[in-house]
Amino acid sequence: MLIAITREPSPSLGACELTHLERQAIDLDLARAQHRQYAAALRAAGCEVVTLAEAPELPDSVFVEDPAIVLDELAILTRPGAPSRRGEVPELARALAPYRRLAQIEAPATLDGGDVLRIGKTLYVGRSGRSDEAALVQLRAIVTPLGYEVVGVPVLGCLHLKSAITEIGEGVLLANREWVDTGRFGDATIIDVAPGEPSAANALKVGERLIYPSSYPETAARLSGFDVLYVDASEVIKAEGAVTCCSLILTQRGASAT
């Protein structure tokens, strides 16, 4: 059984952090409806969905991917790069404690989970504006004893590494080469986002299925052969979010088992 941890969109989502996007009005009711559709897609993909309560004082708290990184062996609480997001961590710690032992990235290092792409036993870490070298060093110290390799990857022009590249199948990556050098990912097959859809590289792989935004039809046309569940994610996209950002997916196992 897979567990998907999500969090209700904050009533203050419209005041979210924005780095590369102009602010647009966010329809909160629509965001909530889209979040329910996203949860339904997670269930259709085989997840039990755990939804945390909204946090009015934390605009970006729907993006649960950033305060934690979950591996089979443990969960690592991050120290988000945006100070406004650091208050998101304690609730994620409470939510993850039943499933994993917890480690923590310590100040002054900063790391967003959106910058961490796990492919097998390699953690690619985006060197974005949110995640720094000190965090990479701490992460390496935590996971190297567990057999993981940590590889820093420069990211330019977008918020997070997973804005630029995600894994959509074994050895297959969906990418925007303007934002990341795909040569860093070995001999993986690269599917390029369509011209005019720069933000289309973020897909959420859940088991054998993909959850993917309906906003990128030309890139979607390149995903034939994949089992895709489409969701309307327009409101979180306005908040510089994406489909991976809105959940933490983990296999069910108790913290004591790690």
Catalytic residue ranges: 160, 245
By CB under 6 A, residue 17 contacts ligand GLY: yes
**Candidate residues 10, 47, 60, 219; the one interacting with ligand GLY per rule CB under 6 A:** 60
Give the separation between CA 4 and CA 23, rounded to whole angstroms.
29
Instruction: Name the residue type at position 173.
Output: L
Phi, psi of 107 (to 5 degrees): -60, 150
Determine which residue in the list 113, 152, 213, 241 makes contact with ligand GLY, applying CB under 6 A.
Answer: 241
Question: Does residue 82 interact with ligand GLY by CB under 6 A?
Answer: yes
Reference 176, options 120, 225, 222; nearest CA is 222
Distance CA 75, CA 96 (A): 7
How many whole angstroms separate alpha carbon 47 and alpha carbon 42?
Answer: 5
Q: What's the count of helices (H) and strands (E) in the chain, helices before strands?
A: 6, 15
Residue 126 is a binding residue for ligand GLY (CB under 6 A): no
Nearest in space to 252 (alpha carbons), one of 58, 60, 47: 47
Q: Which of 240, 242, 246, 247 binds ligand GLY (CB under 6 A)?
A: 240
Question: For residues 210-239, which are near ligand GLY according to CB under 6 A?
Answer: 239
Task: Work out whether 197 is an interface residue with ligand GLY (CB under 6 A).
Answer: no
Tokens encoding 156: 């330019």
Of positions 3, 16, 41, 125, contacts ligand GLY by CB under 6 A:
16
Cβ-proximal residue to ligand GLY, closest one: 17
Give 194's DSSP letter. P
**How many residues lie near ligand GLY (CB under 6 A)?**
11
| Binding to ligand GLY in span 138-177, by CB under 6 A | 159
Residue 91 lies near ligand GLY (rule: CB under 6 A): no
Residues of this chain that interact with ligand GLY (CB under 6 A) are 16-17, 19, 60, 63, 82, 85, 159, 239-241
